[in-house]
């Protein structure tokens, strides 16, 4: 028998209501309708304010080291309203790529609360950059804001941009680089890939980070009066002392997700690049313990424009169960600027890892040289 959906216009129910001289059925029907309306409105309200909660551990058990996740900015890494990181980038010059939206925008906003001297915003879309710049100015009108439309994959454009920073804007040493711009190709097996989009992912996530980092280092060496290639040894310490590069990587760096053959390896490669920067200019190099600080991190799972190429089941999961907040990355990267995070230099970490739980693992991480890319031999 076909299922008959219940409806208030069902002929029997309607007849019962109309034939009832006491209007008792009518009152019951009206009360039921009122109750349903309240329940629906309440559900909609609750859905809108559903907390950002997602059990990452059950999804990717092999990519966790702390077992204690955060999904939104929390008091320990708060930069706003006099939070513990309210001075994390005091007096510093910050450069953020991919700053027009998503994770990069949140990094810019959360760091605008930390008293930086200057924030330099890069992306391709000028209107979006203008809007982020206005948000920053509203937070702290004393911050110098520079914005530029630059394609990070275009090495000539990046080089021209840095020349402009030096000769026109007179920007000296840049203290922090957030190499954040990224692209995710549609997730399909390799033969089905549009090779130009596959290449775009490699170019943006690898070449985009490398080219900007190259110019950043050369800018800083030159800014202190040395050769841009870092061959004036007595100047190098000043160029890189406590300078920091934070690369937005991905949990995907540690996963083999079929269909993601450009994005995930590109993030693995960039983690490895982070290890090289640390080896060449960080604590282990001739620059001493005050050398370049380099980190790569996963910002969490967020339905940004980039993430719209994720498989539908993940987007549905985020819609139905909530997702991580992009603000988490703002707070987490502010914490990476503190000496407390030094043990993560040259390593990968996730913004979703509670920093106190991460600190409890410090010795284990150092002893095992964990959170690095390696080829397993057994």
Closest approach of ligand NAP to the CB of residue 126, in Å: 8
Closest approach of ligand NAP to the CB of residue 109, in Å: 13
Q: Is 298 in the site for ligand NAP (CB under 6 A)?
A: yes
CA atoms within 13 A on the CB side of 3: 2
Stretch near ligand NAP under the rule CB under 6 A, chosen from 78-86, 118-126, 168-176, 360-368: 118-126
Residue 114 or 325 having the CB closest to ligand NAP: 325
Given 69, 161, 162, 183, the residue binding ligand NAP (CB under 6 A): 183
Given 83, 104, 282, 330, the residue binding ligand NAP (CB under 6 A): 104
Q: Give me the phi and psi of 122, to 5 degrees please.
A: -125, 135
Residue span 131-170 as binding mask against ligand NAP, x where in contact by CB under 6 A, dash where not:
--------------------xxx-----------------
Residue showing tokens 């900007």: 212
Return d(Cα 112, Cα 114) in angstroms, integer: 5
Q: Is 124 helix (H, G, I), strand (E, B) or coil?
A: coil
Residue 150 or 239 having the CB closest to ligand NAP: 150
Residue 17 or 207 having the CB closest to ligand NAP: 207
Stretch near ligand NAP under the rule CB under 6 A, chosen from 61-69, 95-103, 341-349, 363-371: 95-103
Residue 123 or 239 having the CB closest to ligand NAP: 123
Token pair recorded at residue 51? 């907390």
Given 171, 177, 253, 306, the residue binding ligand NAP (CB under 6 A): 306
Residue 143 or 262 having the CB closest to ligand NAP: 262
Given 83, 116, 226, 299, the residue binding ligand NAP (CB under 6 A): 299
Given 70, 236, 248, 309, the residue binding ligand NAP (CB under 6 A): 248
Is residue 37 classed exposed, middle or buried when 0-12, 13-18 and 19+ CB atoms within 10 A define those classes? exposed
Close Cβ partners of 136 (under 8 Å, ≥ 6 residues apart)? 108, 109, 112, 119, 143, 145
Q: What is the dihedral of CA 55, 58, 62, 67, to 10 degrees?
A: 50
Closest approach of ligand NAP to the CB of residue 252, in Å: 7
Q: Is 100 in the site for ligand NAP (CB under 6 A)?
A: yes
Closest approach of ligand NAP to the CB of residue 152, in Å: 4
Return d(Cα 93, Cα 114) in angstroms, integer: 11
Q: Is 206 in the site for ligand NAP (CB under 6 A)?
A: no
HEC per residue, 285-300: CCCHHHCCEEEEEECC
Residue span 207-236 as binding mask against ligand NAP, x where in contact by CB under 6 A, dash where not:
-x----------------------------
Q: What is the dihedral of CA 333, 339, 345, 347, to 10 degrees?
A: -50
Q: Is 330 in the site for ligand NAP (CB under 6 A)?
A: no
Q: Is 97 helix (H, G, I), strand (E, B) or coil?
A: strand
Residue showing tokens 């450069």: 95
Q: Is 351 in the site for ligand NAP (CB under 6 A)?
A: no
Q: Give me the phi and psi of 366, to 5 degrees please.
A: -70, -45
Close Cβ partners of 359 (under 8 Å, ≥ 6 residues apart)? 340
Burial 333-357 (b: 16+ CB within 10 A, else e): bbbbbeeebebbbbbbbbbbbbbee
Q: Is 271 in the site for ligand NAP (CB under 6 A)?
A: no
Q: What stretch of H or E contains 121?
A: strand 118-123
**Which stretches of the chain bind ligand NAP, using CB under 6 A?**
97-104, 123-125, 128, 151-153, 180-183, 204, 208, 248, 250, 298-299, 301-302, 304-307
């Amino acid at each position: 028998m076909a299922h008959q959906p219940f409806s208030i216009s069902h002929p029997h129910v309607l007849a019962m209501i109309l034939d009832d001289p006491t209007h008792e059925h009518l009152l019951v029907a009206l009360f039921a309708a009122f109750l349903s309306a309240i329940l629906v409105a309440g559900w909609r309200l609750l859905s809108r304010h559903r907390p950002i909660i997602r059990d990452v551990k059950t999804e990717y058990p092999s990519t966790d080291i702390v077992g204690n996740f955060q999904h939104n900015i929390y008091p320990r890494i708060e930069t706003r309203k006099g939070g513990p990181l309210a001075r994390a980038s005091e007096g510093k010059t910050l450069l953020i790529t991919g700053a027009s939206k998503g994770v990069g925008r949140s990094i810019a906003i959360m760091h605008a609360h930390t008293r930086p001297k200057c924030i330099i915003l890069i992306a391709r879309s000028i209107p979006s950059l203008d809007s982020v710049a206005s948000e920053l100015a509203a937070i702290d009108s004393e911050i110098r804001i520079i914005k530029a439309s630059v394609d990070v994959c275009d090495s000539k454009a990046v080089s021209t941009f840095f020349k402009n920073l030096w000769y026109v804007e007179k920007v000296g040493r840049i203290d922090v680089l957030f190499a954040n711009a990224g692209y995710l190709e549609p997730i399909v097996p390799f033969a089905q890939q549009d090779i130009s989009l596959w290449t775009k992912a490699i170019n943006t996530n690898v070449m985009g980070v490398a080219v900007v980092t190259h110019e950043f280092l050369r800018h800083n060496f030159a800014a202190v009066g040395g050769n841009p290639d870092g061959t004036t040894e007595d100047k190098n310490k000043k160029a890189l002392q406590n300078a920091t590069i934070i690369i937005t990587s991905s949990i995907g760096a540690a996963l083999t997700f079929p269909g993601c053959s450009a994005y995930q390896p590109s993030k693995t490669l960039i983690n490895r690049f982070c290890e090289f920067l640390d080896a060449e200019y960080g604590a282990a190099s001739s620059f001493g313990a005050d050398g370049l600080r380099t980190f790569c991190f996963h910002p969490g799972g967020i339905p940004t424009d980039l993430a719209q190429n994720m498989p539908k089941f993940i987007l549905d999961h985020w819609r139905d169960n909530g997702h991580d907040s992009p603000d988490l990355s703002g707070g987490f990267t502010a914490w990476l600027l503190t000496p407390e995070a030094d043990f993560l230099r040259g390593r990968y970490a996730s913004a979703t890892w509670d920093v106190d739980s991460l600190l409890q693992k410090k010795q284990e991480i150092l002893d095992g040289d964990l959170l690095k890319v390696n080829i397993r031999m057994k």
